[in-house]
Structure 1
Amino acid sequence: MLCWGELGSGIQHKPGSQTGDVLTGQRIQHVCSRDGVTVFVLGNGKVYIRVRGRKQKTEPGLFPHFKQQIIHFAASGTSHILFLSQAGTVYQSEVKSKDTAAATKEFSIMKPQVLKSLSEKNIIQVACGNNHSLALSKDGQLFAWGQNTYGQLGIDTKGASQPIPRCVTSLTGMPVAQITAGGGHSFALSLSGAVFGWGRNDRGQLGLKDTEDRHKPNLVKLLKCKKTIHISCGEEHTAVLTKDGLVFTFGAGSYGQLGHNSTKDEIKPRLVGYLFGKRVSQIACGSYHTLVFVASSGEIYSFGRGENGQLGNQETSDQLVPLPVNITDISDKNGTENGLTTKPAVRRILAGGNQSFAQIGDEAGLESSVDPSALHTLKRIMKVDRVLEKELDRNTIRAIVQAFSSSQSLSASFLDVSKDGHFNTNGEVSGLDMSAVYLGFVKLVKNSSVLEKVKNAVEDKLIPSLPQSPACVETLRVYIILPELIAVLTGSATLTDSLNKAILSLEESYLKILECWWSTMPYYFFKRLVDMYQKKSKQLLQLTREGTLKDNSKLHDSLTILQTLYKVNSSRRKKIPERNFCIRVMKIKYFMKLIAYPCIFDAEAKLELLNWWSARAMQWTAHNPLALNQPICLQVARQMILQDALEGLRSTRLYLCGPRIQVRFTGEASYGPGVSQEFFTLFGRELHSNGRIFQRSEDSELLWFPSWEPERDDVFYHVGILCGLAVSNGFICNFNFPLALYKKLLQVQPTLEDLKELSPVEGNSLQEVLDYEYDDTEDEFCLDFTIPRQTADGDTIYQDLIPNGSEIPVQKHNRKQYVDAYVDYKLNTSVKKQFEAFARGFRNSALPVVDVFRPEELRDLIHGNADYEWDLLEKNAGYDGYTQTDKAVRNFWEVFRNLEEEKKKRFLAFLSGSDRLPVGGIQNFQIAIINTRSSEPDSSYPRAYTCSRSLDLPNYSNIEILREKLLHAIESGEEFNAQEL
Structure 2
Amino acid sequence: MLCWGELASGSGQNPCSPSEEILKGERVQHVCSREGVTVFVLENGKVYTRARGWKRKSKPGNFHHFKEQKIHFADSGSSHILFLSKVGSLYCSQVNSRQLETQAKEFPILKPQLLKGLSDRKIIQVACGNNHSLALTKDSQIFAWGQNTYGQLGVGMDNVSQHSPQSVISLMGMPVAQIAAGGDHSFALSLSGTVFGWGRNNHGQLGLKDTEGRQKPSHVKLLDCKKVVHIACGEEHTAVLTKDGLVFTFGAGSYGQLGHNSTEDETKPHLVGYLFGKKASQIACGSYHTLVFIPSSGKIYSFGCGEKGQLGNRETKDQLVPLPVNIMDMVNKNGNGHTTKSVVRRIFAGGDQSFAACSRAVDLVSSTDQSALNTLRQTTTVGKLLKQELNKITKKAIIQAFSSPQALCGSFLDVRKDGHFKTNGVTSGLDLSAMYLSFLNLPKTLNLQVKNAVQNNLIPSLPQSPTCVETLRVYIIIPELIAVLDKSEDSATLLESLNRSILSLEDSYFKILERWWCTMPYYFFLRLVRMYQKESHRLLQLTMTGASKSNPQLHNSLKILQTLYQVNLSRDSKISVRNCYIPVMKMLKDSLTVLQQLVPYPCIFDLETKLELLNLESIILKKNILQPILRLCVSRMSIFQDGLQELRRIQSAAYYAAVEVRFKGEPCYGPGVSQEFFTLFTQELYNNKRIFKLKKSSELLWFPNREPEIDNAFYLVGILCGLAVSNGFICTFHFPLALYKKLLSVPPTLEDLKELSPTLGTSLQGVLDYEYDDIETILCHDFTVNKKTADGKIIQQELIPDGSKIPVQKHNRKQYVDAVVDYKLNTSVKKQFEAFSRGFRSCYSLPVVDTFLPEELRDVIQGSTRYEWELLEQNARYFEYQNTDRAVRNFWQVFESLPEEKKKRFLAFLSGTERIPAGGIQNYCIKILKSRTDEPDSSYPRAYTCTMSLELPNYSSIEILREKLLHAIEFSEEFNAQPP
1:818-897 equivalence runs, <5 A: 832-846=830-844, 848-884=847-883, 888-897=887-896
Q: Distance in 1 between matches of 2:973 and 2:713?
A: 34
Residue 143 of structure 1 is matched in structure 2 by 143
Residue 938 of structure 2 is matched in structure 1 by none
1:456 aligns to 2:456 (yes or no)? no
Residue 213 of structure 1 is matched in structure 2 by 213
The alpha-carbon deviation at position 454 of structure 1 amounts to 1.5
Which region of structure 1 is more displaced relative to structure 2, 715-724 or 231-240?
A: 715-724
CA contact 1:204–1:266 (8 Å) conserved in 2: yes
Residue 545 of structure 2 is matched in structure 1 by 546
The alpha-carbon deviation at position 900 of structure 1 amounts to 2.1
SS of corresponding position for 2:59: coil
Deviations 1:29-60 (A, max 9, x none): 00111121111111110111111126543221
Letter in 2 for 1:392: L
Which region of structure 1 is more displaced relative to structure 2, 389-398 or 416-425?
A: 389-398
Q: Distance in 1 between matches of 2:803 and 2:75?
A: 50
Q: Distance in 1 between matches of 2:315 and 2:435?
A: 56
1:896-911 equivalence runs, <5 A: 896-911=895-910
Deviations 1:262-289 (A, max 9, x none): 2222222222222222222222221111
In structure 2, do the counterparts of structure 1 residues 244 and 741 end up closer, same or farther at CA, with 3 Å as the change threshold? farther
Which region of structure 1 is more displaced relative to structure 2, 434-443 or 966-975?
A: 966-975
Q: Distance in 2 between matches of 1:189 and 1:101?
A: 36
Residue 94 of structure 1 is matched in structure 2 by 94
Q: Distance in 2 between matches of 1:105 and 1:211?
A: 44
Deviations 1:402-442 (A, max 9, x none): 11110000000001100000111111111111111111111
Residue 77 of structure 1 is matched in structure 2 by 77
In structure 2, do the counterparts of structure 1 residues 89 and 804 end up closer, same or farther at CA, with 3 Å as the change threshold? farther
Q: Distance in 2 between matches of 1:453 and 1:858?
A: 49
Residue 966 of structure 2 is matched in structure 1 by 967
Which region of structure 1 is more displaced relative to structure 2, 498-507 or 568-577?
A: 568-577
The alpha-carbon deviation at position 910 of structure 1 amounts to 2.1
The alpha-carbon deviation at position 650 of structure 1 amounts to 4.9
Q: Distance in 1 between matches of 2:733 and 2:579?
A: 32
Which region of structure 1 is more displaced relative to structure 2, 245-254 or 678-687?
A: 678-687
Which region of structure 1 is more displaced relative to structure 2, 795-804 or 192-201?
A: 795-804
Q: Distance in 2 between matches of 1:241 and 1:215?
A: 25
SS of corresponding position for 1:316: coil
Deviations 1:49-97 (A, max 9, x none): 1111265432212111111111111111112111111111111111221
Letter in 1 for 2:453: A
CA contact 1:73–1:83 (8 Å) conserved in 2: yes
Residue 518 of structure 1 is matched in structure 2 by 517
SS of corresponding position for 1:401: helix
CA contact 1:5–1:354 (8 Å) conserved in 2: yes
CA contact 1:52–1:107 (8 Å) conserved in 2: no
Q: Distance in 2 between matches of 1:275 and 1:163?
A: 42
Residue 24 of structure 1 is matched in structure 2 by 24
CA contact 1:953–1:978 (8 Å) conserved in 2: no
Residue 408 of structure 1 is matched in structure 2 by 406
Residue 233 of structure 2 is matched in structure 1 by 233
Deviations 1:426-483 (A, max 9, x none): 1111111111111111111xx2222332222112211111111111111111111111
Q: Distance in 1 between matches of 2:352 and 2:780?
A: 52
1:57 aligns to 2:57 (yes or no)? yes
In structure 2, do the counterparts of structure 1 residues 527 and 843 end up closer, same or farther at CA, with 3 Å as the change threshold? same
Residue 630 of structure 2 is matched in structure 1 by 631
Structure 1 gap segments, 5+ residues each = 936-942
Letter in 1 for 2:799: Q
1:376 aligns to 2:373 (yes or no)? yes
Q: Distance in 2 between matches of 1:411 and 1:283?
A: 27
Residue 615 of structure 2 is matched in structure 1 by 611
Letter in 2 for 1:18: E
In structure 2, do the counterparts of structure 1 residues 729 and 343 end up closer, same or farther at CA, with 3 Å as the change threshold? farther
Deviations 1:544-571 (A, max 9, x none): 2222779822222222222222222222
In structure 2, do the counterparts of structure 1 residues 134 and 783 end up closer, same or farther at CA, with 3 Å as the change threshold? farther
Q: Distance in 1 between matches of 2:707 and 2:630?
A: 31
1:192-211 equivalence runs, <5 A: 192-211=192-211
The alpha-carbon deviation at position 785 of structure 1 amounts to 9.9
1:563 aligns to 2:559 (yes or no)? no
Residue 355 of structure 1 is matched in structure 2 by 353
Which region of structure 1 is more displaced relative to structure 2, 308-317 or 98-107?
A: 98-107
In structure 2, do the counterparts of structure 1 residues 437 and 218 end up closer, same or farther at CA, with 3 Å as the change threshold? same
1:389-400 equivalence runs, <5 A: 389-400=387-398
Which region of structure 1 is more displaced relative to structure 2, 31-40 or 629-638?
A: 629-638
In structure 2, do the counterparts of structure 1 residues 530 and 101 end up closer, same or farther at CA, with 3 Å as the change threshold? closer
Q: Distance in 2 between matches of 1:66 and 1:373?
A: 25
Q: Distance in 2 between matches of 1:339 and 1:14?
A: 31
Structure 2 gap segments, 5+ residues each = 935-941
Letter in 2 for 1:204: G
Residue 111 of structure 2 is matched in structure 1 by 111
Q: Distance in 1 between matches of 2:64 and 2:816?
A: 67
In structure 2, do the counterparts of structure 1 residues 829 and 243 end up closer, same or farther at CA, with 3 Å as the change threshold? farther
Match of 1:466 among 462, 465, 474: 462
In structure 2, do the counterparts of structure 1 residues 979 and 275 end up closer, same or farther at CA, with 3 Å as the change threshold? closer
1:279-358 equivalence runs, <5 A: 279-328=279-328, 333=332, 344-358=342-356
Deviations 1:907-963 (A, max 9, x none): 21122221111122222112223357589xxxxxxx989528864334755655544
CA contact 2:331–2:341 (8 Å) conserved in 1: no
Residue 602 of structure 1 is matched in structure 2 by 606
Letter in 2 for 1:73: F
User: Paired residues, what number?
Assistant: 955
Residue 162 of structure 1 is matched in structure 2 by 162
The alpha-carbon deviation at position 689 of structure 1 amounts to 5.2
CA contact 1:151–1:215 (8 Å) conserved in 2: yes
Letter in 1 for 2:20: Q
In structure 2, do the counterparts of structure 1 residues 803 and 975 end up closer, same or farther at CA, with 3 Å as the change threshold? closer
Residue 484 of structure 1 is matched in structure 2 by 480
Q: Distance in 2 between matches of 1:141 and 1:804?
A: 56
SS of corresponding position for 1:575: coil
SS of corresponding position for 1:845: coil
Letter in 1 for 2:523: Y
In structure 2, do the counterparts of structure 1 residues 414 and 128 end up closer, same or farther at CA, with 3 Å as the change threshold? same
In structure 2, do the counterparts of structure 1 residues 217 and 949 end up closer, same or farther at CA, with 3 Å as the change threshold? closer
Residue 387 of structure 1 is matched in structure 2 by 385
CA contact 1:385–1:413 (8 Å) conserved in 2: yes
1:576-725 equivalence runs, <5 A: 576-585=575-584, 586=586, 587-588=588-589, 589=591, 590-621=594-625, 624-625=626-627, 631=630, 633=632, 635=634, 641=640, 645=643, 649-650=647-648, 652-655=650-653, 658-664=656-662, 670-688=668-686, 700-705=698-703, 715-725=713-723
The alpha-carbon deviation at position 841 of structure 1 amounts to 3.1
The alpha-carbon deviation at position 343 of structure 1 amounts to 8.3
Residue 131 of structure 1 is matched in structure 2 by 131
Identity, in percent, stands at: 63
Letter in 2 for 1:967: L
Q: Distance in 2 between matches of 1:206 and 1:665?
A: 80
Q: Distance in 1 between matches of 2:559 and 2:739?
A: 26
Residue 529 of structure 1 is matched in structure 2 by 528
In structure 2, do the counterparts of structure 1 residues 366 and 656 end up closer, same or farther at CA, with 3 Å as the change threshold? farther
Residue 747 of structure 1 is matched in structure 2 by 745
Q: Distance in 2 between matches of 1:764 and 1:5?
A: 70
Letter in 2 for 1:453: Q
The alpha-carbon deviation at position 583 of structure 1 amounts to 2.0
In structure 2, do the counterparts of structure 1 residues 264 and 891 end up closer, same or farther at CA, with 3 Å as the change threshold? same
The alpha-carbon deviation at position 579 of structure 1 amounts to 2.7
In structure 2, do the counterparts of structure 1 residues 274 and 596 end up closer, same or farther at CA, with 3 Å as the change threshold? same
Q: Distance in 2 between matches of 1:978 and 1:823?
A: 47
The alpha-carbon deviation at position 185 of structure 1 amounts to 0.9
In structure 2, do the counterparts of structure 1 residues 127 and 759 end up closer, same or farther at CA, with 3 Å as the change threshold? farther
Which region of structure 1 is more displaced relative to structure 2, 746-755 or 719-728?
A: 746-755
Q: Distance in 2 between matches of 1:713 and 1:324?
A: 85
In structure 2, do the counterparts of structure 1 residues 331 and 888 end up closer, same or farther at CA, with 3 Å as the change threshold? closer
Letter in 1 for 2:897: N
The alpha-carbon deviation at position 788 of structure 1 amounts to 5.0
SS of corresponding position for 2:72: strand
Q: Distance in 2 between matches of 1:479 and 1:504?
A: 11
Deviations 1:654-704 (A, max 9, x none): 248745444455776655433332343344445555566556566554445
